[in-house]
Amino acid sequence: MARILVVDDDSVTCRLLADVFGEDGFTVVGDTNPERALAHVADEPVDLAILDVQMPEMDGLSLLRGLRERMPDLPVIIMTAFGSIDTAVEAIASGAVDYVSKPMDVDEIRATVRRALGRHAEAQAALPVADETLGRVVGRSPAMVEVYKTVARVAPGPSTVLILGESGTGKELIARAIHENSPRRKQRFVAVDCGALTETLLESELFGHVRGAFTGAVADVPGLFAEADGGTIFLDEIGDVSGALQAKLLRVLQEHQIRPVGGSAWRTVDVRVIAATNRDLAAAVETGRFREDLYYRLKVVTVDLPPLRERREDVPLLVDHLVRRAARELRKTVVGVSEAALTRLRTYDWPGNVRELAHVLERAVALAHQDVLTVDDLPTELRESSAAPASAAPVDRPTLAELKRRYVERVLQENGGNVSRAAQVLGVDRRSLYRMLQRYGLAPRGSSG
């Protein structure tokens, strides 16, 4: 069976993952010291590595690069409590085959390891380090982590990308993330809302026009495709484009040529196309409202952005990010929200998604009289909202954090409540174990040791 290296500065996490994968028949080597782990693989190679990002001696990404220098084909999984698109991009850029966000459940990490071992020889594309602006994309839910990984893998190439999602989910931010992490990042990123213009105006905006092409055309205008030459054009709400214009867009994708309105000469352009829509394009193809050939040209790679109501676990992160941003822009001293307010924000359905949440928090910050937002600072519909409806019977799918609490409790019980012996088994000192017990609400029984 495969040998797995686990490196995390938390020794209990190392031991816990050793137990989890040991049950599956793997040999697990755990280490809390990145430098020691590097020395270990030089003597005894491993088949896969799982690395934490935040470690005091050496961060996980630096360790990843060190491991890849010694073992270029080694599959490496990065795990972090700080899920973001820039961390995912840098992890994939450094050679990670996968990226998971804490807290993760046991089934998730097991499935991730199986996938990684199954594609041991998968080649990883080199990406530039993500720009700081990508921090605007916030979330560490499983659905968002999949989005991050898709962005990281598709960005370096020329493939056309179709981004699907409801209004307000951040489709343009994802498009910009792809552009900023591509070889085209030094060229222009041009965004156009296809649903905001009439067919005639949109055609002129996209392809340009020549002087005299129509009333008011007093000079030649190159158009947005020409302006984006060498860069990226983002066609938002592509589902609203008319049939005639769809045919012209298809020619751009197939022949890389445009012709201005009223002109006779074709111009070759080198533009990466990223499109987005909140419509069901597959259904539109079935009813004849959208060209099937254009649809398949656009969806070479598809990114599905989940609505906010389907990733409620990301709401606290988003709230913290958006409140701090609003406070900075409005020069207010607001630093966060109360627990009661956060509960209302988390249980609301957010039909306008992240955009609506951002507007609600900006308004609340602008009108706030205190440093912490309360329920009274929220709009009426949120103040009157109740707790989320009760779900079906819960399934026991513990996160690693919960499993760690159970593990510590079990070791303590097996040692009769003796803290010294339990600490020795866990590989921590007594003081650290006492802190864990306090954090988990556990009390030692019997002799304190």
Residues 283-315 have pLDDT tens digits of 999 999 999 999 999 999 999 999 999 999 889
Estimate the crossing angle of helix 400-414 against helix 430-440, to 10 degrees: 120
Please check whether the domain covering 309-383 is classified as CATH 1.20.1440.230. Answer: no
Tell me if 194 sits within 8 A of 236, measured CB to CB.
yes
pLDDT band at residue 349 using 50, 70 and 90 as cut-offs: very high
Q: What is the mean pLDDT of residues 368-378?
A: 90
Q: How far is CA 161 from CA 179, 233, 296, in A?
A: 11, 11, 11
| Structure tokens that stand for 331 in this block | 């020069």
| Cα dihedral 426/432/436/437 (nearest 10) | 90
Cα–Cα distance, 269 to 81 (Å, whole number): 43
Report the pLDDT averaged over residues 28-34: 87
pLDDT for the residue numbered 146: 86
- CA 384/CA 253 separation, integer angstroms: 49
With 80 as the cut, is the pLDDT of residue 57 above it?
A: no
Give pLDDT, residue 210.
Answer: 83
- The domain limits of the chain are 3-142, 157-304, 309-383, 400-440
Strand partners, 235: 192, 275
The CATH H-level (homologous superfamily) assignment of domain 3-142 is Response regulator (3.40.50.2300)
Residue 345 has pLDDT above 90, yes or no: yes
Nearest to 21 by CA among 42, 48, 45, 40: 48
CATH hierarchy code of domain 157-304? 3.40.50.300
Which pLDDT belongs to residue 83? 61
State the chain's mean pLDDT as an integer: 83
Distance of alpha carbon 301 from the chain centroid: 16
Which tens digits make up the pLDDT trace of 146-194?
888 889 889 999 999 999 999 999 999 999 999 998 999 999 999 999 9
| 69-75 average pLDDT score | 82
Closest by CA to 19, choosing from 397, 424, 435, 426, is 426
Beta strands in 111-247 (DSSP E): 161-164, 189-193, 232-236
* Residue 284: per-residue pLDDT: 93
3-state secondary structure of 192: strand
N- to C-terminal Cα separation, the chain: 39
Per-residue pLDDT at 90 exceeds 90? no
Query: SS3 breakdown of the chain: % helix, strand, coil, rounded to 5?
Result: 45, 15, 40
Segment 430-441, tens digit of pLDDT = 777 887 787 777
pLDDT of 101-143, one tens digit each? Answer: 776 777 778 888 887 887 643 333 333 333 333 345 778 788 8
Query: Span 365-387, mean pLDDT?
Result: 85
Average pLDDT of the segment spanning 354-366: 93
Q: Structure tokens of 131?
A: 């720009």
Asked whether residue 24 carries a pLDDT value surpassing 70, the answer given is yes
> Is 80 or 150 the better-scoring residue by pLDDT?
150
Residue 56 has pLDDT above 50, yes or no: yes
Residues 215-266 pLDDT 10s? 777 688 888 999 999 999 999 999 999 999 999 999 999 999 988 888 888 8
Which pair of structure tokens corresponds to residue 198?
């009439």
Q: Enumerate residues 6+ apart whose C-beta is below 8 A from 164.
A: 276, 277, 278, 281, 302, 303, 304, 305
| Residues 337 and 343 sit within 8 Å (Cβ to Cβ) | no
- Strand-pair category, 161-164 with 267-268: unpaired
- pLDDT given at position 305: 94
Indicate the pLDDT class of residue 272, thresholds 50, 70 and 90: very high
CATH architecture of 400-440: Orthogonal Bundle (1.10)
Alpha-carbon distance of 128 to 156, in angstroms, equals 9
Beta strands in 188-300 (DSSP E): 189-193, 232-236, 257-258, 267-268, 272-277
Q: What is the mean pLDDT of residues 13-38?
A: 85
Going by the DSSP 8-state scheme, the letter that residue 370 receives in this structure is S
Highest mean pLDDT among 57-66, 210-219, 238-247: 238-247
pLDDT at 386: 58
**Position 447 pLDDT exceeds 80:** no
Same fold, 309-383 and 400-440: no
